[in-house]
Amino acid sequence: SLAACAPPENLAADGSKIVVGFSQVGAESGWRTANTVSIHDAALDAGIKLRFSDAQGKQANQITAIRSFIKQRVDVIAFSPVVETGWDEVLTEARQAGIPVILTDRAIRTTSKDLYTTFIGSDFVKEGTLVGEWLVDYYASRPGTVRVVELRGTTGSAPATDRAAGFRAAIKGEPRFQIVASRTGDFTRPKGEAVMRAILKTDRDIDVVFAHNDDMGLGAAKALEAAGLQPGRDVRIVSIDAVRDGMKALAEGRFTFIAECSPLLGPQLMDLVNKIANGQPVPPRIVTQETTFTQEQAKAALPDRKY
Ligand code: GYE
């Protein structure tokens, strides 16, 4: 019957369609693209009206978008904050307008907890820790100093800060691990490549590149190859995300290890939007389920990988 095909009726208390305003970071990585698709698809499936705004990596654009969502009187505002600080003023405006806010993917730092209703996303500290612990294990049977280059994500963003902290905590008791360079590649492939090229001009004695996301790792792989070094043999690249291109590089042996960070937040986000719009209680924090991949595991997982 027709009814069986219709989307579920996620309606606001007054019977109208729920409207969610979403402010996205940008389109800096494969992760972000998959996340945007997931959010669009899930809104469509849930019968929720999505007003989507791309901030092109700029906090000022996100603040403008949130103010416009407030003006439009959307039912719920959701956003993935570019950086952690500087949100108190605009979120206070949302609260004064009575519009609930959901943090998606990235956390913020704020003085008052009641500026948002819930936060759905990964445990970034854990991701960094998993990479560090895996390396410690990997090098247990390989003596000598381990010289690590770190390619950090966007400065001031929750994933960059937390992944750096988790990684450092994991290698803390291992003085043979030395972070010989740590620079931001802003989560993009071209910047990852440019930063790696610059580092290689003065230092070719590198054992490991720890990239905060696959895209920067892929950029670094290009730079290493251009410098005559073979990723996977001369230098081990370890990263976070596990998007298709990263998984391919891992299956091919160019990458050595990836900790997963899932971008498929759309369905859970729309479920939260529906509950919040209807005044139902939701947990204050929802942590995404994730795993890790070695080269063999990537080979096995790749055929079914959705993104
Ligand atoms: O790891 C990176 C993206 O916030 C978890 O942002 C996200 C990160 C992701 O650009 O690829």
pLDDT digits (tens, 9 = 90+) for 277-287: 999 999 999 99
163 lines ligand 1 (CB under 6 A): no
- Residue 177: phi and psi, rounded to 5, are -85, 120
State which residues of the chain have pLDDT below 50. Answer: 1-2
* Interface TM-score (ipTM) > 0.85: yes
Q: Which residues pair with 54 in a beta bridge?
A: 24
Q: Which of 120, 131, 157, 213 to mutate to test the pocket of ligand 1 (most atoms within 8 A of CB)?
A: 213
pLDDT at 198: 98
pLDDT at 1: 44
Q: Is 187 left (phi over 0), alpha (psi -120 to 50) or beta?
A: left
pLDDT digits (tens, 9 = 90+) for 89-125: 999 999 999 999 999 999 999 988 799 999 999 999 9
* CA of residue 305 to ligand 1 center, whole Å: 18
26 lines ligand 1 (CB under 6 A): no
pLDDT at 7: 52
Q: Which of 31, 54, 184 to mutate to test the pocket of ligand 1 (most atoms within 8 A of CB)?
A: 31
Question: Is the Cα dihedral 131, 258, 301, 44 positive or negative?
Answer: positive
106 lines ligand 1 (CB under 6 A): yes
Whole-model pTM: value is: 0.96
Q: Which structure tokens are listed for 87? A: 């949100």
Rounded-to-integer distance, Cα 298 and Cα 292, Å: 9
